[in-house]
Chains A and B, each alone.
Chain A
Amino acid sequence: MSKTKYSTDHEYVRLEGEVGMVGISIYAQEQLGDIVYVELPNVGVKLSKGDEVAVIESVKAASELYSPVSGEVIEVNEALNDDPALVNTDAQGNGWIYKVALSNISELDEMMDDAAYTDFTS
């Protein structure tokens, strides 16, 4: 089973080898409401933890997504261009936003696991 970690800003990183799949948590998408547009990063962009990497827009507001981890963007979820609501319907699956080649895997150690995140959001 893959390992998922969460930031206090409600992003998740699912670890697949050296690659982190990043999106927003199920809790976060509930808070944002109906998502109508996701501005994806460019492949090849090098991120430091905390960099603004994407923008998620609901009907009522735009919310910046700050990368919870450092590394290079190696893939973005193009399916969101046609169906941004995937972030609502399957936030931690088909609603992922980008994949990053992690440059500092120890950053994940500071993030919350499932149980800690469940506590954090309850």
Chain B
Amino acid sequence: MAKPEIENLKKTVLYDLHIANGGRMVDFCGYALPIQYSSLVKEHIHTRNSSSLFDVSHMGQIFVNGADFEAKAKLLETLFPADILSLKSGEMRYSVLLNEKAGIIDDLIITRAENGNDVFIVVNGATKENDFAIMKNMLGDKLEFTLNEDLSLIALQGPKSADVLARYTSIANELIFMQSGAAVIAGINVYVSRSGYTGEDGFEISVSNDQASKLAKILSDNDEVEFAGLGARDSLRLEAGLCLYGHDMNEEIDPITASIIFAIGKQRRIDGGFVGAKAVQDIIANGVEQKRVGIIFNTRMPVREGAQLIDELGNNIGIITSGSFSPTLEKPIAFGYLPKDIAKIGNSVCAIVRGKQVFGSIVKMPFVKQNYKRSIN
């Protein structure tokens, strides 16, 4: 229970604000970030009911320059399996970066900016340097990539987030889920995306480092808004059925096995032309051996990452890759990989925790309904 050594870690510009608000700082991808403030469960429930502010500045914001949009999109499609050309101005798309075997190097979001020309890619904090190197290696002679470390990223998540943001900018009521645009909040220039990692309606706001603390204070001064830490972020994304890179996905797992085939454009699965395309097509044609499924367990005992899944004879047949206690359902929930013929909704499963058998059922994901804003009323 020793206090984590945080002195040598990188700090986001919101570090002092986290400390002032009682954030318990931990090492996350080499950054000192708050795992929680007062209570993970309170922060989780608050996000489901109101609005929470998360510092996600550790994430990588990579900008692509050097050509018009169409030329950029065509080049990027030789690397990424997403349908990028069809993005309208301001639209965002979830995708992955694959190796030749279709193993997932990272998951990410590609945005065509509101101005129609700029393209940027938000990637995971732990993988951003590697992603950046891969992009430069493959396309650096034709496009210019910039990993912009002068930007922070603030997520405002929860059903009241739009009401809060609408006090400062009309864009809050103009965007729908996976749309973005430039805005000004209390005199601060920002770029707002209606997206997030909690399953709730919300926004991710890119802002220059020198204005980020001011913006976070302005937003958190609203009565509806509380700070929330990485602990709540993890339990929220798990309830929402969202994968965490390095846990539920890695370079040995392809997107079909990971149950995120939607990260690959439908036409692109047929046409190919991206890194890993041949392997993706083979996997689609021949079927997968395993699938990622959602499991709810019957007792209160959490079943965590690394727990083995066994069959009636006690043979190991799968593994849990993320698992926690759902504050919303008040039951343990998990993602696990199981053989395809077993990985079906309604089937019962058995996990081993500290030598004991724990039973559960495969359920449809998400565990908790996603509340994305998919249309303007």
Q: B40–A10 contact, CB under 8 A?
A: no
Chain A interface bracket (under 10, 10 to 19, 20 to 34, 35 or more) = 10 to 19
Q: B304: CB under 8 A from chain A?
A: yes
**Binary CB contact string for chain A from 56 to 79 against chain B (1 if under 8 A, 0 otherwise):** 011110110000000000000000
Q: A36–B36 contact, CB under 8 A?
A: no
Q: Give the distance in Å from the alpha carbon of A59 to the alpha carbon of B36 in the complex.
A: 11
Q: A84: CB under 8 A from chain B?
A: yes
Q: Determine the residue in chain B with the shortest Cβ distance to A52.
A: B354
Q: A55: CB under 8 A from chain B?
A: yes
Q: Give the distance in Å from the alpha carbon of A57 to the alpha carbon of B302 in the complex.
A: 7
Q: B40–A33 contact, CB under 8 A?
A: yes
Chain B interface bracket (under 10, 10 to 19, 20 to 34, 35 or more) = 10 to 19
Residues of A close to B35: CB separation below 8 A: 60
Q: Give the distance in Å from the alpha carbon of A13 to the alpha carbon of B354 in the complex.
A: 26
Q: B39–A37 contact, CB under 8 A?
A: no
Q: A31: CB under 8 A from chain B?
A: yes
Q: A34–B354 contact, CB under 8 A?
A: no
Enumerate B1-17 residues with CB–CB distance to A below 8 Å.
1
Contact pick for B1, options A28, A34, A36, A62, CB 8 Å: A28
Q: A60–B1 contact, CB under 8 A?
A: no
Residues of B close to A37: CB separation below 8 A: 300-302, 325
Q: How far is the CB of A82 from chain B (nearest CB, A)?
A: 9
Q: A113: CB under 8 A from chain B?
A: no
Q: Determine the residue in chain A with the shortest Cβ distance to B300.
A: A37
Q: A33–B39 contact, CB under 8 A?
A: yes
Q: Give the distance in Å from the alpha carbon of A36 to the alpha carbon of B327 in the complex.
A: 9
Q: B231: CB under 8 A from chain A?
A: yes
Residues of B close to A9: CB separation below 8 A: 1
Extra contacts besides A33-B40, A33-B231 (10): CB < 8 Å:
A33-B36, A34-B39, A34-B327, A36-B300, A37-B300, A39-B354, A59-B44, A60-B235, A60-B324, A84-B300
Rank and list the top 6 A-B pairs by shortest CB-CB distance, nearest first. A34-B41, A36-B325, A37-B300, A60-B231, A59-B325, A59-B40
List 12 interface pairs A-B (beta carbons < 8 Å), by A numbering. Answer: A33-B36, A34-B39, A34-B42, A34-B327, A37-B325, A39-B301, A59-B40, A60-B40, A60-B324, A62-B304, A81-B300, A84-B300
